[in-house]
Amino acid sequence: MSKLFSTLAVKKIILRNRIVMSPMCQYSSSDGFANDWHLVHYGSRATGGAGLVIVEATAVSPEGRITPGDLGIWSDEYITGLERIAGFIHSKGAVAGIQLAHAGRKGSCAVPWKGGKQLGLDKGGWQTIAPSEIPYFPDDRIPRPLDTDDIGKLISAFRAAAKRARMAGFRVIEIHSAHGYLLHEFLSPLSNRRTDEYGGGFQNRIRFLTRVVEAVRSEWPAENPLFVRISATDWTEGGWSLEDSIQLASVLKGLDVDLIDCSSGGNIFDAVLPLEPGYQVPFSAEIRKTGILTGTVGLITQAGQAESILQEGKADVVLIGRELLRNPYFPFHAARSLGAEHEWPVQYLRAKKINKKI
């Protein structure tokens, strides 16, 4: 029996299979609003059979955007557009999730197809913020270090974003604490040089994240899952490590986090990652030993590869990114290759069986 196409119950939410669409920025919003691109993009992956579709990094404040094209959730004005997306995803049998995020020092950038460089303040950019006065790229603007009042306001912003996500009908929230964005910046001693309660030792560096988790959980229904995406290592000596991630996972489990989405890197501009299929799977496998559910991501493109990860107990779900961009119907093909039964939309049933006769 295929593990990839088995159901998974997380709290009271049941995923129809273990294929999760990884949150991937589309950089296609205007002033933070979702539009038809987002509806078609996410809706097609739900139609294509994913068990959980996680909407891209959605900024909890205007300066929390990576680019001016990012989705926003810092105002009630955004609820209607997001509600339309969540509703369509659910109508196709998938579960709708959303990733709440703040870009920190990696914000104020042009969209990738316009170079992706940090925008000048006179070119539509904005002052970035961070735990310390350390830019991501050496030639970026110096970010403004947050004071404790700023941090308190951002914790409140995450709380308000969780409320809006609930109002929009999402059933899973993922907090983005990976890839060198704000919450990850606080975790790593390479980007956090503070000497107050949010810097220094491990417990202080995780404090911002844990308070965000508590704030989000206070607005999120008890029966709905809460995920946290982390970079399990900075891939740089002296940075955030797998051992830190394992310790953090135990803390987050105690705060009613249901799943750790295990990625890596993104905080140190010149870190070297060993990019090969499954290179991040060991992180998911080790963190899972703490007793928390885990997801793995990164260069997973084949059904058999995903199936083996689950069968070997190295993760509970597999997050598919670029392969779902290339092929929204990856789950259909994966089910066929694994000999698994998978429900198709009634509109597509004529294509379910391949007729070899011409």
Q: pLDDT means per 10 residues in the chain (358 residues)?
A: 96 98 98 98 98 98 98 98 98 98 98 97 97 97 98 98 98 98 98 98 98 98 98 97 98 98 97 92 98 96 97 98 97 94 88 66
pLDDT at 357: 53
pLDDT at 355: 60
pTM across the whole model: 0.97
Q: Of 27, 181, 329, 348, which one is the catalytic site residue?
A: 181
Is residue 181 part of the annotated active site? The answer reads yes
Q: 158 CB contacts (<8 Å, ≥6 apart)?
A: 60, 100, 102, 175, 212, 215, 216
Contact predicate 136/128, CB 8 Å: no
pLDDT at 358: 45
Residue listed under structure tokens 């939410």: 13
Q: What is the pLDDT of residues 238-267, one digit of tens each?
A: 999 999 999 999 999 999 999 999 999 999
pLDDT at 1: 87
Residue listed under structure tokens 């997801």: 295
CA dist., res. 246 & res. 240, Å (int)? 11
pLDDT at 298: 92
CA dist., res. 52 & res. 54, Å (int)? 6
